[in-house]
Amino acid sequence: MILVTGGAGFIGSNFVLGWLAQCDEPVINLDKLTYAGNLGNLQSLAGDPRHIFVKGDICDEELVASLLAQHKPRAILNFAAESHVDRSIHGPRDFVITNVNGAFALLEAARGYWQGLDDRDKAAFRFLHVSTDEVYGTLGPEDAPFTETTAYAPNSPYSASKAASDHLVRAYHHTYGLPTLTTNCSNNYGPYHFPEKLIPLIIANARQGKPLPIYGDGQQVRDWLYVADHCTAIRRVLDAGRCGETYNIGGWNEMANLDVVRILCGILDELTPKAAGSYLDQIVHVQDRPGHDRRYAIDARKIERELGWRPVETFESGIRKTVEWYLAHDDWVRNVQSGDYLGWMDTNYANRATPER
Ligand code: NAD
């Protein structure tokens, strides 16, 4: 049994689906179902006894402690977070509450549970914290990619809250000996990605004839990783990572936002051509995000060398799969867009900006 938090979100739901496709070890899925949590992602698991869904908050330490006491998982994987940089600029409070206080509550519950285990279970237990490359700040064009020893320099309320949680995880290992693992991954893309983030937003807007807004000059560089590859890396770290260590996960796919959008337009032009012209004609440049980091790049050699992990997808293969998935799942996009998403977009940045994650 493993406890996954945030398993109704983008990466968490991909992880849970992949996990149960590969093994029969049950999953307790603790998710608050914020605007970003969508049980529709897990529809294929309805009635599956291996998936126990619990609607709840990671900040609720008592709830977490009771789930641990009841189900006795051998690991906790923390995906739950407020994850959208633009939202963190407009309203940072929720980010500190969930990403910092929530991680703290989870760690406290995990510590109490772990300390009560017998020696064998204690040695086998793992607390895996899923984090981001954004904690390292921004790179110049010639700088070497982030390694696990790069100093933290978070620039947005989102990345600062994730950095704080990473530090708490580190401290719980150092101080209490809790067997922790931390992963810092680059930008993910793939199925079930909420359409406030760059790639699904561009696909949805293109299909709906709306502008494709690009922040500033669009030359912000990100490393991109297909979500299934991220999930495989997390499993490898859970299975074989050294306790107390952090592992950078990335796809060696640095790309400027504008190039990502152009590639998407090219694939859409091929797979679902417009009556006239190209989706490229819908691109508009809009005012840049305040404090926008210019470049992130991940050096993933540690996880490759120590754990033998490598991404399966190239950007070309992964992005094509992603577009095909969205084209085949219009209903999923429509469902998401008919909820809180639309109201929030209208009042906060409807078509004014292109978010990245
Ligand atoms: P997401 O926003 O799609 O999903 C987050 C999930 O957490 C949602 O299901 C939401 O309902 C749940 N949640 C939020 N607050 C909660 C709370 N207080 N208690 C319980 N559940 C709560 O996020 P994502 O993109 O899937 O990211 C998952 C994790 O991976 C995050 O920790 C994020 O920082 C990290 N990460 C994301 C990316 C990326 O590109 N998306 C890259 C690297 C790391």
Specify the CATH number for the domain of residue 98: 3.40.50.720
- Considering the domain boundaries, does residue 163 fall inside one? yes
The CA distance from 80 to 103, in Å, is 9
Tell me how far apart the alpha carbons of residues 22 and 32 are, in angstroms, rounded to a whole number.
26
pLDDT of residue 339: 73
Model confidence at 347: pLDDT above 80:
no
97 inside domain: yes
134 given a catalytic annotation: yes
| Residue 130 falls inside a structural domain | yes
Q: Is residue 354 part of a domain?
A: no
For ligand 1, the distance from its centroid to the CA atom of residue 132, given in whole angstroms, is 11
Sequence-distant (6+) residues with CB within 8 A of 23 are none
How far away, in angstroms, is 127 Cα from ligand 1 center?
A: 16
pLDDT at 197 over 50: yes
Interface pTM, i.e. ipTM: 0.99
Does residue 249 register a pLDDT over 80? Answer: yes
pLDDT reported for residue 123:
98
Query: Using CA atoms, how far apart are residues 333 and 197, in angstroms rounded to an integer?
Result: 13
The answer to whether residue 201 is domain-embedded is no
Judge whether 133 counts as a catalytic residue: yes
Q: Which has the closest alpha carbon to 134: 315, 355, 353, 293?
A: 293
Task: Give the chain's domain count.
Answer: 1
Query: Quick check: is 230 in a domain?
Result: yes
CA of 169 to the centre of ligand 1 (A): 17
% residues pLDDT > 70 (the chain): 95
Q: Rounded distance, CA 96 to CA 165, Å? A: 9
Mean pLDDT of 286-303: 95
Give the relative orientation of helices 257-271 and 315-328 as an angle to the nearest 10 degrees: 50
Query: By mean pLDDT, which of 56-60, 134-138, 195-199, 209-213 is the weakest?
Result: 195-199
In a domain, 57, yes or no: yes
Pocket test for ligand 1, best of 4, 11, 107, 161 (most atoms within 8 A of CB): 11
| Span from the CA of 63 to the centroid of ligand 1 (angstroms) | 19
Give the DSSP per-residue string, 18-48.
Answer: HHHHH----EEEEE---TT--GGGGGGGTT-
pTM of the model: 0.94
299 ligand 1 Cβ < 6 A = no
31, 57, 61, 133: the active-site residue: 133
Does residue 267 register a pLDDT over 70?
Answer: yes
- As a whole number of angstroms, the distance between CA 293 and CA 343 comes to 27
Atom of ligand 1 at shortest range from CA of 80: 7
Asked if the structure places residue 145 within a domain, the reply is yes
Domain that holds residue 177: 2-192+225-252+292-313
Residue 6 has pLDDT above 80, yes or no: yes
What's the pLDDT at 24?
Answer: 98
C-beta of residue 32 within 8 angstroms of C-beta of residue 252:
no
